[in-house]
Structure 1
Amino acid sequence: MKKPQIFTLHFAGGNCYSYQFMKPALLDFDVVSVELPGRGRRMAEPLIRGFEAAAKDMFQQIVSQLTGSSFILYGHSMGAILGLKVARMLEDYEKKPSALIFTGHAGPKLVKYKNTAFLETQELKQVLLDLGGLPDSVIHNSELFSFFEPVIRADFEVAERADSYEFEPVDIPLHVVMGTEEDFSDKIGLWEKYTTSSFSKGLLSGDHFFIHNHICEIAAIAKSMLSKEG
């Protein structure tokens, strides 16, 4: 029997391997990891810095790999905000996701950092240390960091350009989760206006990358949302 798909959209600085840690909890799904160019399997391709261009790239990847009508989009942080745009594109293409699960983002227009893509290197490193997504060993190793820095800057530019984008609501069930220690976690209910379908939300203990400690909970949300389909 064919498994439902869950397409994962990575966070800033991430790649197709960013959610490997989740796979043991998602055995009921066919996990398909999409990634923007300039990293992972697409290292040789030029980086994207535009929000709409990034969304179009991910949309095309998803459409080309769809195997059935039941599938979920999952995105964390930048992946969440891209996920909303991609979901709308899929809906317009008549390939509507069964559900959306977004984590680590309080919704369009709500961001703590501004102009991060253009910070001096030391300031950028401090932002990354605050967020906790990149190992300290990478941030403090000049050679390693210089390898990741262009990708991180390009992704932050993508995410920041989303701030001026006017999102249209989708007609797709949406569940949003944030860490209890994240900025704006008390405002995640604002996501509700971006769907005309069912909306649910929750908080789990932790900081911006709380997902590493809550893979079973996220998998349970995915199963629950798919079971409500139809």
Structure 2
Amino acid sequence: MKTSKAQLFLLHFAGGNVYSFRYLTPLLKGFDVIPVELPGRGKRMASPLLHDFGLAVEDTYQQISTMRNGAPFIIFGHSLGAYLALAVTQRLEKQHQPPAFLFTSGNAGPGIRETDDWHLLENDDFIEKLTALGGIPEEFLADKDLMSYYLPILRADFELAEKNTIDPFVTNVPIYAMMGNQEENAGKITNWQRFTNAPFYHSLFEGGHFFIHDHPEKIAGIISAYCNDLTSAAT
């Protein structure tokens, strides 16, 4: 008999892909880390982008369901990924197959507007908003070819986030919410508590929306501290 590591599914932010958490993955040695990727980018470039939040939830749910191996599992999502993480957790809870823990990052949760129809902005205005938000390397912003490739992805993902349709269903899964203390709605982080009957925790980190890039050790430490006993006996 052997012990299987708990699975940790990582859901990326708008414009992200399967490589978006490379800085964090090496610090999570106690887990089987599995990045999940929406279609239309990275390894799924040949698939069409999604513009409907429900379809994105279904896509994410199917990926996680397919990759489950029987071990306990955890879901972590940043920004758009946090909305998807909650929606998928709700669905799994209704099917009596919930994750052991949910970690949300980079927004204050459903019902609190983070951006206002950015996906409809003209290119220059959209890029200006993205620049202020951070997270996009300067070399990308300066390269017209790169930006022409990424802008449709970013627009589609912002549309998903801005039109998210989250069920009011309250789960029994513990939630740990994280945000940067410079984010506009950082003071409303406890909004996430509305979606769980289980223990709720939260932390504010120094930084803006992409604080995750500045605090990988702390984030990995939190995940490990709350989930390091999740093991499954497997033959």
TM-score higher than 0.5: yes
SS of residue in 2 equivalent to 1:222: helix
1:48 and 1:198 map into 2 onto residues whose CA distance is: 33
Post-superposition offset of 1:169: 1.5
How far has the Cα of 1:228 moved from its partner? 6.8
Which residue in the other structure is 1:20 paired with?
Answer: 22
TM-fit CA distance, 1:134: 1.4
Q: Any conservation in 2 of the 1:85–1:167 contact (CA below 8 Å)?
A: no
Q: Of 24, 38, 63, which aligns to 2:40?
A: 38
Q: Which amino acid aligns with 2:215?
A: H
Aligned match of 1:168: 169
Kept in 1: contact 2:87–2:167 (CA 8 A): no
Answering whether residue 52 of structure 2 is matched by residue 58 of structure 1, we say no
Report if aligned partners of 2:102, 2:173 keep a CA contact under 8 Å in 1.
yes
Worse overlay, 62-71 or 34-43: 62-71
2:107–2:179 contact (8 Å) kept in structure 1 = yes
CA pair 166-66 structure 1, distance change in 2 beyond 3 A = closer
Match among 125, 133, 136 for residue 134 of structure 1: 136
Separation in structure 1 between the aligned mates of residue 44 and residue 198 of structure 2, nearest angstrom: 35
Q: Identity of aligned pairs, percent?
A: 40
**Greater share of helix residues, 1 or 2?**
1
Shift of 1:216: 1.4
When normalised by structure 2's length, the TM-score is 0.93
- Deviations, residues 88-133 of structure 1 (Å, cap 9, x unaligned): 1111222210000111111112223211111000011011101112
Specify the alignment match of 2:81 in structure 1.
79
Question: 1:60 is paired with a residue of what secondary structure?
Answer: helix
Structure 2 residue aligned with 1:118: 120
Kindly state the Cα deviation for residue 229 of structure 1 after the two structures are TM-superposed. 6.3
Report deviation, 1:45.
Answer: 0.3
Q: Aligned equivalents of 2:158 and 2:185: distance in 1? A: 18
* Larger RCO of the pair (alpha carbons < 8 Å, separation 6+): 2
Deviations 1:3-32 (CA, angstroms, capped at 9, x unpaired): 111000000000010001101211111110
Structure 1 position 194 matched with structure 2 position 226: no
Distance (Å, rounded) in 2 between the aligned partners of 1:13 and 1:33: 14
Residue 101 of structure 1 is aligned with which of 90, 100, 103? 103
**Secondary structure of 1:2's match?**
strand
Quote the offset at 1:140 in angstroms. Answer: 2.4
Say if 1:228 and 1:185 are closer, same or farther in 2 by CA, change over 3 A: farther
Instruction: Measure, in 2, the Cα distance between the counterparts of 1:197 and 1:143.
Output: 47
Give the secondary structure class of the aligned counterpart of 1:102. strand
Distance of 1:125 and 1:202 partners within structure 2? 29
Query: What SS does the aligned partner of 1:15 have?
Result: coil
* Alpha-carbon distance in structure 2 between the residues aligned to 1:221 and 1:136: 30
Using the TM superposition, give the Cα deviation of residue 165 of structure 1 relative to its aligned residue in structure 2, in angstroms: 4.0
Residue 218 of structure 2 aligns with which residue? Answer: 217
Does the Cα contact within 8 Å between 2:108 and 2:189 map onto a contact in 1? yes
Cα distance in structure 1, aligned partners of 2:167 and 2:117: 19
5+ long unaligned stretches in structure 1: none
